[in-house]
Chain A
Amino acid sequence: AQSVAQPEDQVNVAEGNPLTVKCTYSVSGNPYLFWYVQYPNRGLQFLLKYITGDNLVKGSYGFEAEFNKSQTSFHLKKPSALVSDSALYFCAVRPPDSGTYKYIFGTGTRLKVLA
């Protein structure tokens, strides 16, 4: 079955430190990979995507993500965390050319950046 796993319910990091939010997937073929962020009482906002090309993709607000095909991972990273980065982060995959337009979301990781 196709799935996305975010193994950490919550990640705590001190402001100014680097952060990593983990995501692994189980999807056949070469999926499209996404990260979304959700602030309280808001919809999900797109951060970045990987479709093809360079394994390191850069997105909004200084975030980047590294695609690792052998480990089927797509971890979200930021070199220096801000308190304002505190939010709920979702990894998502869209199986490619499979005739489905469904995006599969992970369970979310709550990031808490401590001042």
Chain B
Amino acid sequence: EPEVTQTPSHQVTQMGQEVILRCVPISNHLYFYWYRQILGQKVEFLVSFYNNEISEKSEIFDDQFSVERPDGSNFTLKIRSTKLEDSAMYFCASSFNGGEKLFFGSGTQLSVL
């Protein structure tokens, strides 16, 4: 079965530094998402992306966050100046149809020190 791949699996950074989390969604999918999960708890929506633009974002997704699909295959999440509270597992997901099931990557564990 096709997979969503995320790199790196773990990222450690200092507070205030920029990080870029990378994702390769399934090739024929059209809808892309970032979610995060803190300490194995609730999965929180960050942003959805369709037709090369953000379709919706949450209140968590402030000016420090941005997403990009630079080359038609990668989908990146950038945090410009990381905070301690950004420490979480970040999941990328994609779907072919916005109403259909999501395919999740295995996540990037971000630790901000």
Q: Is B102 an interface residue (CB 8 A)?
A: yes
Identity of the chain A residue whose Cβ is nearest the Cβ of B95 in the assembled complex: A101
Give chain B interface residues in 66-113, CB to chain A under 8 Å: 91, 93, 98-107
> Is the beta-carbon distance between B56 and A44 smaller than 8 angstroms?
no
Contact among B33, B43, B45, B101 for A90, CB-based, below 8 A: B43
Output the residue of B45, B98, B99, B106 with the most chain A CB within 10 A.
B99
**Do A107 and B41 touch (CB < 8 A)?**
yes
With A46-B103, A102-B45 already in contact, the answer to whether A88 and B56 are too (CB < 8 A) is no
Q: Count residues on chain B whose CB falls below 8 Å from chain A CBs.
A: 27
- Measured in the bound complex, the distance between the Cα atoms of B40 and A105 in whole Å is 13
Contacts of B105 in A (CB 8 A): 43
A3: min CB distance to chain B, Å = 11
The number of residues on chain A lying at the interface, defined by a beta carbon within 8 Å of a beta carbon of chain B, is 25
- Cα distance A46–B35 in the bound complex, in angstroms: 15
Max chain B C-beta neighbours (<10 A), residue from A46, A49, A90, A106: A46
Q: How close is A1's CB to chain B, nearest CB, in angstroms? A: 12
Between B31, B48, B100, B101, the greatest number of chain A beta carbons within 10 A of the residue's beta carbon is seen for B101
Q: A76 to B50, alpha carbons, bound, how many Å?
A: 30
Is B99 touching A51 in the complex (CB atoms < 8 A)? Answer: yes
Do residues A44 and B91 form an inter-chain contact, with CB atoms below 8 A?
yes
Q: Do residues B48 and A101 form an inter-chain contact, with CB atoms below 8 A?
A: yes
Please, how many angstroms separate the alpha-carbon atoms of A9 and B65 in the complex? 31
Whether A27 sits at the interface, judged by CB under 8 Å, is no
Residues of B within 8 A of A112 (CB): none
Q: Does A22 contact B (CB under 8 A)?
A: no
Q: Is the CB of A49 within 8 A of B101?
A: yes
Interface set of B (CB-CB < 8 Å, partner A):
4, 31, 33, 35, 40-45, 48, 50, 55-56, 58, 91, 93, 98-107
Q: Which are the 7 A-B pairs with shortest beta-carbon distances?
A: A43-B104, A105-B43, A101-B48, A46-B101, A44-B104, A43-B106, A101-B98
